Every structure is written in C-alpha cells, then in structure tokens.
Amino acid sequence: MEIAFSGQRAVVTGAGKGIGRATALALAQGGAEVIAVTRTQADLDSLILECPSIKPVCVDLSDWEATDAALKDVGPVDLLVNNAGFGMLQPFLEVTSDHFDKCFSINVKAALHVAQIVAQGMKARGTGGSIVNVSSQASQRALKDHAVYCASKGALDMLTKVMALELAPYQIRVNSINPTVVMTKMGRMGWSDPVKSKEMISHIPLGKFAEVDDVVNSILFLLSDKSAMTNGVILPVDGGFLAC
C-alpha cells in the first residue's frame, strides 16, 4: 500500500527524538512539508542536517503562551501528530504534585492546545484534516509505578474521542495510536531492567516489544486517506497486549 503526502503540511510534536523524529522523517520522505516541534534545539539542528526540508520550531509545549507564540505563524496545516510525551516512574503513594502537573501538562494539555491551534486553521480553511494523538497501552491497563502516566494517557484517549466528535463536522478526523513498549529514550527509562522487560513481554502475544517503525507505519495510515472513514479510534500497536 503506497501512502503519499505530497502537497500536505504536517506538524509533528516531540520530533526531536524517538517516535516523533522517525514520524517527521517518514512524512518528509512521503512528500509532506513537515514542521518539527520540540524543545531541544540540538535535536532540531541534527534533524535538519538529516532532512533539510523540515522546518524547525523550538518550544516547550508545557508553556501555553509560548506555544501560541511559536505556532502563530505556522501557516496552513493538514496533518498533526501530537506525539510529545513525558513519563516518570513513581509508586502511587509517592506521587508528587510536580510530577502530576508536568505529566498532564505535556501528555494532555499540550496535545489539546496544539490541536486547538491547528484545528482552528483547518476549520477556517474548510479543508479538513487528520490528527493522531500518540497515547499508550498504559491508557487502558494498570502498570505498576505508572499511576500518573496511565491516568494521563487515559485522559488523552477520552480527549481523542471528544475531539473526533466535535471536529467531524469540519471533516477533521482524530484518532489515537496506543503502542506497547518501544525502546526509545522513554522506553529504556521504564523497561531496561531485563526482569521487568521479560515479564512485560510474557504478556504480549507476539512475544516482543514494538519497533519505532511499527508505530510510525500506523500513524501514517491514520493520517492518510487510506483511513478516510476511521474516526475516534484507539488503535493498539501492542502485539495483542490489550486483547488478553
């Protein structure tokens, strides 16, 4: 199945590393004009070296006003990947206020805000569009020491459904991708311990973690017209973890 994005403009958040970076590169390779948003300038510098057509935007998405300022001149956008995310392990009884606020401000509030900015433009132009929120298997399954992360991704799933409902009249589709563990910087933080990773893998019917490309391919599908009638879905990319 060929998926092409020629003539389309895409915003990818958290595009400095991991899944977001690979998504930005894949979209550019597919012909899209890509705006890569992240908060570490060095990551943007290396991304542009790798793919000079990508337009960089450096901003901390947990800052609402700074996000407005950074994206006000972004221009018309057809595709959005709300990928920037934060996770930290903390036992439930030790969860701190700071951790809670940081996690929700990036995983939920920033996703909502960037989508508002982009969808306002889509609505005004009447061109429709596609938005993918990068959630997690953790939105639907309790994981030890993941109370805040699980709660934030559960909130993101519900946000996806309400966005799908409210934006559908403007032909804007909104879906989410819910991966299992991927060994990015974030994945390594939670799952480098071989005892823990073995236990997790034992609950994944396909018997392995996901690769970055597994997630990127599903994001591209949901962004593209190949999923033109798919709206409001929570799509696991989890080797069957959530099925059992």
CA dist 220 and 164 (Å) reads 18
Which residue among the candidates 55, 72, 153, 170 is catalytic per the annotation? 153
HSE toward the beta carbon, residue 3, CA cutoff 13 A = 18
Residue with smaller CB distance to ligand NDP, 30 or 190:
190
Which residue among the candidates 149, 161, 196, 198 is catalytic per the annotation? 149
Phi, psi of 12 (to 5 degrees): -125, 125
> Contact at 8 Å (CB) between 10 and 77?
yes
Contacts of 233 (CB under 8 A, 6+ apart): 175, 176, 222
Residue with smaller CB distance to ligand NDP, 12 or 164:
12
**Which residues contact ligand NDP by CB under 6 A?**
14, 16-20, 38-40, 43, 60-62, 83-87, 106, 134, 136, 179, 181-182, 184-187
Q: How far is the CB of 127 from ligand NDP (least distance, A)?
A: 26
Residue with smaller CB distance to ligand NDP, 129 or 236:
236
Q: How far is the CB of 52 from ligand NDP (least distance, A)?
A: 19
Residue with smaller CB distance to ligand NDP, 14 or 239:
14
CA dist 31 and 1 (Å) reads 16
Q: How far is the CB of 72 from ligand NDP (least distance, A)?
A: 17
CA dist 110 and 98 (Å) reads 16
Q: How far is the CB of 208 from ligand NDP (least distance, A)?
A: 13
CA dist 235 and 86 (Å) reads 20
184 DSSP assignment: S
Q: Is 153 a catalytic residue?
A: yes
Nearest to 61 by CA among 84, 88, 43, 28: 84
Report, as residue numbers or ranges, the catalytic residues. 149, 153
